[in-house]
Amino acid sequence: MISQTEFQKEIDIIIANAIREDVGAGDFSSLACIPATAEGKAKLLVKDTGILAGVAFAKQVFAYVDAQLKVEVLINDGEKIKPGDVAFYVSGNSQAILKAERLVLNAMQRMSAIATKTNAFASLLEGTKTKILDTRKTTPGIRALEKWAVKIGGGENHRFALYDMIMLKDNHIDFAGGITKAITKTKKYLAENNLDLKIIVEARDLNEIEEILQNEGVFRILIDNFNYEDTKKAVAMIGDTCLTESSGGITLETAPKYAACGVDYISSGALTHSVYNLDLSLKAV
């Protein structure tokens, strides 16, 4: 993953672009009927059950819109929520609260959904060494928010993007002329360009596992779309040579079975691409 400084830059970009997109030349609904000096207070009302995520992000949004807005947090990121809970109060300039409202809600509803789903996986994997990972199957433009939500839910982040880790998947391997050629070329490229990036290599069967193991410098092997029996065999073959990761349509039902095979990680694109937003609303008080 990228550094915290780089991650914060992504968050700053998301906030600035989202406010630009939503507010444009002005929030004319508020400008038309609410005095510029009017003060108000609103609460973040929970209407669903799950894991709350996005409170820290909401605070950044409110500060961006109006540094004078005050936020009183009652429920923190990562805590369980239920209908009727109030996550926080925000008070200050009424126009500013309304300007920030939609971005706060859109982000928190999606982040909470992702955190809730991630937490379901993480809870199932408790007691094993296996950790749940996200993927790059995220919503364009808000990847940082979605990966943040995965962390809040108890998961771990895979690479952030194409530039912070090498991942040699089936197409890379086929285009490069095979596993050994792909790994050899990759290590040469990294050395020539003075890049220190971890290398993950995808395997489609046990023969490919064997070939990968004949090459040094691999950080993790992606055991992709293997059944349980072959996953166990792959883990045994790999041993302590490098880390292991299972992927390929793994669900809440099948995750514990893959964990029982001894893999270090399970990756799931469903954490971010297949969730239903939690119901939250911002109400004047």
Query: Which residues are part of the catalytic machinery?
Result: 102, 137, 169, 202, 224
What are the residues facing 44 on neighbouring strands?
282
- Tokens read off for 24: 């444009």
Max Cα distance, the chain (Å): 71
Q: Which residues of 30-58 are buried (b: 16+ CB within 10 A; e: fewer)?
A: beeebeeeeebebbbbbebebbbbbbebb
- Between CA 148 and CA 202 the distance in angstroms is 25
How many CA atoms does the CB half-sphere of 238 hold within 13 Å? 28
**Token match 């968050």: residue?**
11
Helical packing angle, 4-23 and 55-65, nearest 10°: 60
Phi, psi of 266, deg, nearest 5 = -125, 130
Task: Indicate the burial class of 236 (C-beta count within 10 angstroms; 0-12, 13-18, 19 or more).
Answer: exposed
Beta carbons of 114 and 247 less than 8 angstroms apart: no
